[in-house]
């Protein structure tokens, strides 16, 4: 039996078979079928991770960090190393195309004592791929293997990898990749069910993820990623594809409750009631205050603006209030607008949102 942390308390879960085992990543113990929060650039910062952890995320990662940036001591890269004890177990994700730089950045990461180091071989955005990093490495399995070995050899922390099915439909080589990376010492692999050529378009193909999981040579945990946006789909994919856990990205933006809803459904087979407007506003308020606390009032308020649409999705005639939220400039003013929304829509239970990030924004996210 396993215990998981959810809303600051410990719960003992019973599976349908009555037995719950744990998923191990090196020396890290996670509950059976853990839920991972995807590392999303300009989204997965400490305030966002805080509300996701409160709602049941089992393992979270930093925004992806350039190995070259860390070595140059770039301020933005260094800031991404920050995390709190509440977030543990916690991984820091790095990317790059040079073995020496990746090894050195892994050693820098180890100084802040996360629980693991994750390597990004999946980011499809042009500015990363053009530097021979992220998903670009999918075109050269030998290089991917050398980069991974350089990181594994440079740290005592467990090393994991996040990647895609392949570069394009003609090179969906994820089974070979999984075997090669396991052989050089990674402790878990997360697979996004699209190729680099697909970006975030079309439907994620989990059949290849299942083939990796069912490969007799593969002994490490395999996590699936892509298109999980409801408790029903999470359980369906768990049963159909047999993965050890799932990683959730877009579905958590402005809706951190997705984690607790999936846990409840997997445990009981019942759909948990959706959060009413009071709870939505209060979690949004927590997120806002953490953002201001972490980044200062000006930047904290500015960077929260991308989240309001999803927090308030489904409310009728919400545009007036959303406009206020993205134009007011002080924490007190934002709090007043949030109070107005609670009063105006008291008792309402909006539907679960579909992420409203535009494709151009999504292509700036690494998950």
pLDDT (0 to 100) of residue 204:
87
Phi/psi-derived region of residue 287, left when phi > 0, alpha when psi is between -120 and 50, beta in every other case: alpha
pLDDT (0 to 100) of residue 4:
30
Environment class of 30 (CB within 10 Å of its CB; exposed 0-12, middle 13-18, buried 19+): buried
Whether residue 354 is predicted with pLDDT greater than 70 in this model: the reply is no
- Please list the active-site residues: 123
Phi/psi-derived region of residue 79, left when phi > 0, alpha when psi is between -120 and 50, beta in every other case: alpha
Least trusted range by pLDDT, from 160-174, 178-192, 236-250, 298-312: 160-174
pLDDT tens-place string over residues 40-85? 988 999 999 999 999 999 999 999 998 988 988 877 788 899 999 9
Cβ–Cβ under 8 Å, residues 141 and 177: yes
Question: What is the band of 15 on the pLDDT scale with cuts at 50, 70, 90?
Answer: very low
Classify the C-alpha dihedral 344-349-355-356 as positive or negative. negative
pLDDT tens-place string over residues 170-221? 888 999 999 999 999 999 999 999 887 777 778 889 999 999 999 999 999 9
Q: What is the DSSP letter of 136?
A: G
* pTM for the full predicted model: 0.88
Structure token pair of residue 194:
């699209």
Least trusted range by pLDDT, from 119-128, 164-173, 232-241, 321-330: 119-128
Phi then psi dihedrals of residue 93, to 5 deg:
-100, 130
Alpha-carbon span 323 to 318, nearest angstrom = 9
Q: Average pLDDT of 338-359? A: 78
* CB-based contacts of 290, cutoff 8 Å, min separation 6: 46, 47, 50, 51
Query: Which of 105, 83, 110, 93 is CA-nearest to residue 39?
Result: 93
pLDDT (0 to 100) of residue 20:
54
């Amino acid at each position: 039996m396993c215990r998981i942390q959810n809303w600051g308390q410990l719960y003992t879960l019973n599976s349908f078979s009555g037995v719950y085992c744990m998923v191990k990543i090196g020396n890290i113990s996670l509950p059976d079928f853990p839920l991972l929060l995807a590392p999303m650039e300009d989204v997965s910062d400490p305030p966002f991770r805080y509300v996701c952890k409160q709602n049941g995320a089992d393992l979270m990662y930093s925004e992806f960090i350039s190995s070259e940036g860390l070595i140059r001591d770039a301020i933005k890269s260094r800031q991404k190393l920050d995390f709190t004890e509440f977030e543990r177990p916690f991984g820091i994700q790095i990317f790059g195309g040079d073995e020496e730089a990746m090894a050195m950045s892994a050693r820098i990461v180890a100084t802040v004592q996360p629980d693991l180091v994750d390597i990004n071989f999946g980011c499809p955005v042009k500015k990363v791929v053009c530097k021979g990093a992220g998903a670009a490495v999918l075109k050269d399995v030998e290089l991917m293997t050398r980069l991974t070995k350089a990181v594994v050899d440079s740290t005592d922390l467990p090393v994991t990898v996040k990647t895609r099915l392949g570069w394009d439909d003609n090179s969906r080589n994820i089974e070979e990749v999984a075997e090669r990376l396991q052989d050089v010492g990674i402790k878990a692999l997360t697979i996004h069910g699209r190729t680099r050529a697909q970006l975030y378009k079309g439907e994620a193909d989990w059949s290849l993820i299942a083939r990796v999981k069912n490969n007799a040579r593969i002994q490490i945990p395999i996590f699936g990623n892509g298109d999980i946006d409801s408790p029903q789909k999470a359980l369906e994919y768990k049963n159909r594809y047999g993965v050890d856990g799932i990683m959730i990205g877009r579905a958590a933006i402005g809706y951190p409750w997705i984690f607790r809803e999936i846990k409840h459904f997997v445990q009981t087979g019942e759909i948990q009631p959706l959060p009413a407007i009071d709870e939505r506003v209060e979690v949004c308020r927590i997120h806002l205050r953490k953002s201001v606390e972490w980044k200062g009032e000006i930047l904290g308020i500015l960077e929260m603006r991308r989240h309001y649409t999803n927090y308030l999705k489904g409310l009728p005639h919400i545009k007036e209030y959303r406009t206020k939220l993205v134009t007011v400039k002080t924490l007190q003013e934002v709090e007043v607008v949030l109070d107005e929304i609670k009063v105006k829509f008291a008792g309402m239970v909006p539907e679960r949102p579909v992420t409203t990030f535009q494709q151009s924004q999504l292509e700036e996210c690494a998950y």
